[in-house]
């Protein structure tokens, strides 16, 4: 084995263990010794993507394809970021050729399913994932991929069971918490620790289960992101809120927040909702009360997610793309946008009256305070959507062709948030029609929101 090959194999090992920075370093050492390795370029792109460095990842995938245009994995990865339909077709053709030679390769079936999912071909994706699981019953990545197809289709019973395989997907870099106490199974318990595991939106979504958990536990503790503490501590049934890494008081059982739907046997017909479960405190509401602006409608806007997330290019757009909304008479817009994208509010589309708020939010209590004064929120799929939905604020979500499972594959409604309306892309990557429909709906409304 030569030195370039040794570094490549070292990179594979690090990547499989979810150690992305170490894998990147190994692949770069290998490529420095031998740059004509398409698989090394592809794998480097993968670990760059997992670190949120999407432009660099795209460059690596293109470098792989320059050396081997038919490399199925690189075509798949490039298509997933850039929405390149030709690359997706190339990936499918490549995987099919490989499967003709080895139809029992579970990894190939899983990869093929991922491409089908990117193209919105959900039945074919589900079949490919099911075949991967049949061939390799312990294949965690295939179970995890299958979970999203099942959940998107509304099969929550199987979907949430499959979703538990997430802890065995080492590439996610999120191992299960190692506690001496058992995971909670829903039976009566003394002190229960619920802990956040993923992003803000997932915590905001799953905390609705805290009152249900409190009915079966004498005391419920919640460990979650500090930015959410002000909101979570006000949720009925939550006795104490803890920051990650803080010393934990004694507890009898624990559970990741996103495992609560499985424990409670949630189906489409039993999604828990008895009304808004998050609210702004009086001080936050007073602090963010808008000045008199003569608005007929006060509309909050959030148009971009975290750019570091691998699927961000599918869900985010620019404030300029929302220009048709500016034609609605009497509407004043409030930017809820955080991060670099918030700067776009300084140069809004022509005729758009916009008040920039997001860059001044210290935490989600501030966001909730601002939301409490709005008639409507229009947002892409971000944490703002989950917060507004949880507060019962009328919310319009602009969705890509491949939405998060909570929104389902079709329709304008989701049972998770009854005050939410969904505007879906009709063509992959095309936002103009989505925004046009939202603008038309806004023009014809007479403030029927509250």
pLDDT tens column, 362-416:
999 999 999 999 999 999 999 999 999 999 999 999 999 999 999 999 999 999 9
Output the pLDDT for position 313: 67
Tell me the domain boundaries of the chain. 3-170, 189-270, 282-443
pLDDT band at 353 (very low <50, low <70, confident <90, very high): very high
Neighbours of 293 (CB within 10 A): 10
Stretch 50-72: mean pLDDT: 92
Beta-bridge partners for 219: 191
Output the pLDDT for position 446: 61
Stretch 171-189: mean pLDDT: 87
Output the pLDDT for position 297: 92
Taking only the tens place, the pLDDT of each residue in 257-292 is 999 999 999 999 999 999 999 999 999 999 999 987
Neighbours of 12 (CB within 10 A): 16
Stretch 327-351: mean pLDDT: 93
Output the pLDDT for position 17: 84
Please count the residues of the chain: 450
Neighbours of 318 (CB within 10 A): 13
Output the pLDDT for position 312: 67
Stretch 170-182: mean pLDDT: 80
Taking only the tens place, the pLDDT of each residue in 11-38 is 999 998 888 999 999 999 999 999 999 9
Beta-bridge partners for 221: 193, 240
* Phi, then psi, of 368 in degrees rounded to 5: -65, -40
Output the pLDDT for position 50: 86
Output the pLDDT for position 171: 67
Output the pLDDT for position 326: 94
- Rounded Cα distance between 370 and 288, Å, is 5
The CA radius of gyration of the chain, in Å to the nearest whole number, is: 23
Output the pLDDT for position 16: 85
Name the percent of the chain in helix, strand, coil, to the closest 5: 50, 10, 35
Could you give the angle at the alpha carbon of 259 between the alpha carbons of 258 and 262, nearest 5°? 125
pLDDT above 70 coverage of the chain, percent: 96
Output the pLDDT for position 449: 53
| Residue 401 · residue 427 · CB < 8 Å | yes
CATH no. for 282-443: 3.40.50.2000
Output the pLDDT for position 447: 58
Output the pLDDT for position 306: 75
- Rounded Cα distance between 16 and 23, Å, is 9
For the chain, the average pLDDT equals 93
The whole-model pTM stands at 0.90
Taking only the tens place, the pLDDT of each residue in 417-445 is 999 999 999 998 899 999 999 999 999 87
Output the pLDDT for position 14: 92
Stretch 186-203: mean pLDDT: 95
pLDDT above 90 coverage of the chain, percent: 83
The architecture of the domain spanning 3-170 is Alpha Horseshoe (1.25)
Taking only the tens place, the pLDDT of each residue in 33-49 is 999 999 999 999 999 99
Q: Which of 374, 286, 281 is nearest to 333 (CA)?
A: 374
Name which residue leads in pLDDT, 55 or 174.
55
Please identify which residue in the block is written with the tokens 């029927």.
448
Output the pLDDT for position 211: 98
Output the pLDDT for position 205: 98
């Amino acid at each position: 084995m030569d030195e370039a090959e040794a570094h490549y194999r070292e990179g594979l090992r690090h990547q499989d263990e979810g150690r992305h920075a170490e894998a990147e370093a190994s692949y770069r050492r290998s490529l420095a010794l031998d740059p004509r390795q398409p698989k090394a370029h592809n794998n480097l792109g993968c670990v760059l993507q997992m670190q949120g460095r999407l432009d660099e990842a795209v460059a690596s995938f293109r470098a792989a394809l320059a050396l081997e245009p038919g490399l199925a994995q690189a075509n798949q990865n490039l298509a997933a970021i850039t929405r390149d339909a030709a690359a997706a077709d190339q990936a499918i053709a490549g995987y099919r050729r490989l499967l003709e030679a080895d139809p029992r390769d579970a990894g190939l079936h899983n990869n093929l399913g991922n491409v089908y999912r990117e193209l919105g071909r959900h039945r074919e994706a589900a079949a490919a994932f099911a075949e991967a699981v049949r061939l390799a019953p312990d294949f965690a990545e295939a179970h995890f991929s299958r979970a999203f197809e099942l959940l998107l289709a509304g099969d929550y019973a199987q979907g949430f069971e499959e979703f538990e395989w997430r802890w065995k997907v080492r590439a996610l870099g999120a191992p299960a918490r190692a506690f001496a106490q058992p995971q909670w199974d829903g039976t009566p318990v003394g002190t229960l620790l619920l802990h956040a595991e993923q992003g803000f939106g997932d915590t905001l979504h799953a905390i609705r289960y805290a009152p249900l958990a409190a009915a079966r536990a004498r005391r419920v503790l919640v460990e979650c992101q500090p930015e959410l503490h002000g909101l979570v501590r006000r949720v009925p049934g939550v006795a104490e809120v803890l920051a990650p890494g803080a010393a934990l008081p004694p507890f009898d059982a624990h559970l990741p927040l996103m495992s609560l739907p499985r424990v409670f046997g949630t189906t489409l017909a039993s999604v828990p909702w008895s009304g808004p479960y998050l609210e702004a405190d009086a001080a936050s509401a007073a602090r963010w009360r808008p000045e008199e602006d003569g608005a007929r409608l006060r509309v909050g806007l959030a148009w971009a997610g975290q750019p570091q997330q691998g699927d961000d290019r599918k869900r985010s757009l620019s404030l300029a793309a929302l220009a048709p909304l500016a034609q609605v008479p009497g509407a004043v817009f409030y930017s809820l946008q955080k991060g670099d994208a918030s700067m776009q509010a300084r140069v809004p589309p022509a005729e758009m009256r916009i008040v920039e708020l997001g860059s001044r939010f210290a935490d989600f209590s501030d966001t909730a305070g601002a939301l409490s004064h709005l008639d409507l929120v229009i947002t892409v799929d971000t944490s703002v959507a989950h917060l507004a939905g949880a507060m019962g604020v009328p919310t319009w979500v602009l969705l890509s062709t491949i939405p998060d499972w909570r929104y389902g594959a079709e329709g304008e409604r989701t049972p998770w948030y009854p005050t939410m309306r969904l505007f879906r892309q009709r063509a992959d990557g095309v936002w103009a029609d989505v925004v046009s429909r939202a603008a038309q709906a806004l023009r014809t409304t007479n403030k029927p929101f509250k």
